[in-house]
Amino acid sequence: ERGGNNSFTHEALTLKYKLDNQFELVFVVGFQKILTLTYVDKLIDDVHKEFRDKYRNEFQQKGTLGLLNGTFDFKDDFMRLLRDAEESSKVRAPTVMKTFEQSLKSQKTVKCMIETRGEKPKEKVKNKKNKGSKKEGTEAVAVPGKASAGDKQPSVAGDREELTKDEILQKNREEFFKRHMKAGEKSSKSPKPEAQKEKGKKPRVWDLGNSNAKVLDYSNSATNGSAEACPMEEFDPEIALGDRNREPGRLYDLEYESDDEAEEEKAIQNPSKPSSKKGGLGGMFGMLKGLVGSKSLIREDMDPVLEKMKDHLIAKNVAAEIAVQLCESVAKKLEGKVMGTFTTVTSTVKQALQEALVQILQPQRRVDVLRDVMDAQRHRRPYVVTFCGVNGVGKSTNLAKISFWLIENGFSVLIAACDTFRAGAVEQLRTHTRRLNALHPPENHGGRTMVQLYEKGYGKDAAGIAMEAISYARNQGFDVVLVDTAGRMQDNAPLMTALAKLIAVNAPDLVLFVGEALVGNEAVDQLVKFNKALADHSMAQTPRLIDGIVLTKFDTIDDKVGAAISMTYITSKPIVFVGTGQTYCDLRSLNAKAVVAALMKA
């Protein structure tokens, strides 16, 4: 369920992985963390495609037996791909630079020409465009040198611009004539034919500098510089110039982007490019034959459904970042998967999301408190449980509920009042102790008091009280020690340090974080900061972190149960108890399926 991000770091190595959902394969590449290899993503994509194409038959026809019996002699192919990737990464950087200059800077120079210079440099530029690409590159380097010299006098240029607008118009006209004649030659400028078409398309849309001529080129191919063309020409340059004066940087940004895209597509000559185009087309037709045949899921199909699910989850009180990550991981898991017949995208996505949610809520290792208490009993030491959380979530109330449950099961409890700050905390626990003893008098349990309170008043050090309580319990033979701490905000550094010290020094068997079900996005922040504080201030190699979550005030939310998801997602620890009211019997355990059903319900 955490499939959202695809890299993993361990000591000195980083692993990146890619899932093939159609054939259920995982491709993993491992490399040293210190090397920043730019070609890793590309390499893994290439390997994925080659492997899949090469062994497609074996997967499809023979299924598992094919996997078991087939020999996958991929080593040579892999070495070849690795070499290609390494080479391409070395070569790519300089080539990008060159093509930049060729296309962008030369265009820039033309504009600069229009703004500030006379006719001669313009002709030079045009002549260069007629020659081969490399030469263009080198010569275009020289020209920007001159152009930049011109740029260095902005104020002067500005004056000159305004003065020579008529001149500029005239120049544009001449330029138009010349370009029109050399339109054919220009098309051969670019080395790669396919990409050049795209470059031709994009600059036509974005590039205001050249688009005058080009747009007019295509629309007035028949005419030859007649008077009709001129009014249009007057219109365009003014706008173009005007904009450039006001926001010189902005236009360049657009051009940069478009050229960037054009550059990238030119440089990457992969089979991936045509296949991705095919995929796009296939997606469109796929929707038509979605009902009949089996098609594989692509991102575009899933995006609207995922958006809706994400909003639905957020409406159910799941933290926003968690909802986003969940939808990401579901998308990654389903991408490329072949859907069965008569299943819609919505239903597949919903089911995958449901599975992911159940997976999150069902604990990896179920926390069986009673079992662990029995173990501790056998070793003749008390089982220590610590409750921590922010203010007002219900620590003391749920502590009382849990002690009631333990007493019902025949274990004696010592309550340690380590909340030495809040007024009435100790009295509250004393009242609970009295009530519990009234409910379970010593006569019923062989003469021993089932519940006792260990307190040292207010203002003392909580960690010290906890330690004394635990040794007292060991001496007196109590089975469980429940330690109640003061509520504290996760941002309060000194209090977090104090809590971390208490937990590190006393080494409790179970650290429970008490969180209320009403919390929204705050849950993420609380848990992260609590865990971080516990990890930072612990001296041990493996610090004690939060072991479980108690979700309280569950009766106050009817079906907005998202807080459960947020909390378990962040910590990967199970929800041990759920508090559903103020009486001693309002203690439940989590039913993952019911919660997920409530979540997914419209």
Q: Which amino acid is at 346?
A: T
Residue 63 binding other proteins, by CB under 8 A: yes
Least Cβ distance, residue 564 to other proteins (angstroms): 10
| Closer to other proteins by Cβ: residue 2 or 124 | 2
β partners of residue 485: 418
| Closer to other proteins by Cβ: residue 85 or 587 | 587
Residue 26 binding other proteins, by CB under 8 A: yes
Ramachandran quadrant class, 62 (left: phi over 0; alpha: psi -120 to 50; beta: rest): alpha
CB atoms within 10 A of CB 497: 13
Radius of gyration, CA atoms only, the chain: 35
- Residues constituting the chain: 602
Half-sphere exposure of 570 (CA within 13 A, CB side): 28
Among residues 264, 368, 536, 559, the one that binds other proteins under rule CB under 8 A:
368
CB atoms within 10 A of CB 130: 13
Residue 589 binding other proteins, by CB under 8 A: yes
Euclidean distance between CA atoms 398 and 516, whole angstroms: 11
Residue 569 binding other proteins, by CB under 8 A: no
Residue 498 binding other proteins, by CB under 8 A: no
Least Cβ distance, residue 472 to other proteins (angstroms): 26
Report the site for other proteins in 330-359 (rule: CB under 8 A).
355, 358-359
Least Cβ distance, residue 565 to other proteins (angstroms): 14
Euclidean distance between CA atoms 82 and 10, whole angstroms: 23
| Closer to other proteins by Cβ: residue 529 or 588 | 588
Kind of pairing, strands 413-418 and 383-388?
unpaired
| Closer to other proteins by Cβ: residue 68 or 438 | 68
Residue of 146, 224, 144, 136 whose CA lies nearest to 179: 224
Among residues 33, 54, 366, 448, the one that binds other proteins under rule CB under 8 A:
366
Residue 409 binding other proteins, by CB under 8 A: yes
Among residues 61, 69, 71, 542, the one that binds other proteins under rule CB under 8 A:
69
Euclidean distance between CA atoms 549 and 564, whole angstroms: 9
Among residues 169, 183, 232, 374, the one that binds other proteins under rule CB under 8 A:
374
Residue 71 binding other proteins, by CB under 8 A: no
Residue 599 binding other proteins, by CB under 8 A: no
| Closer to other proteins by Cβ: residue 72 or 342 | 72
Q: In the structure encoding, which two tokens stand for residue 444, read together?
A: 């019923």
Euclidean distance between CA atoms 312 and 598, whole angstroms: 12
**Cβ contacts of 335 within 8 Å, gap of 6 or more:** 19, 21, 297, 298, 299, 302
Q: Contacts with other proteins: how many residues (CB under 8 A)?
A: 33
DSSP state of 62: I
Residue 554 binding other proteins, by CB under 8 A: yes
Half-sphere exposure of 151 (CA within 13 A, CB side): 13
Residue 578 binding other proteins, by CB under 8 A: yes
3-state secondary structure of 567: helix
Euclidean distance between CA atoms 415 and 430, whole angstroms: 9
Contact predicate 600/561, CB 8 Å: no
| Closer to other proteins by Cβ: residue 5 or 359 | 359
Q: Residues of 35-72 as b/e, b for ≥16 C-beta within 10 angstroms?
A: eebebbebbbbbbbbbbbeebeebbeeeeeeeeeeeee
Residue 371 binding other proteins, by CB under 8 A: yes
Q: Which stretch binds other proteins (CB under 8 A): 161-169, 401-409, 443-451, 517-525?
A: 401-409
Contact predicate 44/24, CB 8 Å: no
Least Cβ distance, residue 377 to other proteins (angstroms): 12
Least Cβ distance, residue 64 to other proteins (angstroms): 4
| Closer to other proteins by Cβ: residue 295 or 401 | 401
Euclidean distance between CA atoms 280 and 299, whole angstroms: 10
Residue 590 binding other proteins, by CB under 8 A: yes
Residue 302 binding other proteins, by CB under 8 A: no
Residue 59 binding other proteins, by CB under 8 A: no
Among residues 348, 412, 538, 580, the one that binds other proteins under rule CB under 8 A:
580
Residue 362 binding other proteins, by CB under 8 A: yes
| Closer to other proteins by Cβ: residue 26 or 438 | 26
Residues in contact with other proteins by CB under 8 A are: 24, 26, 63-65, 67-69, 355, 358-359, 362, 364-366, 368, 370-371, 374, 405, 408-409, 554, 577-578, 580, 587-591, 594-595
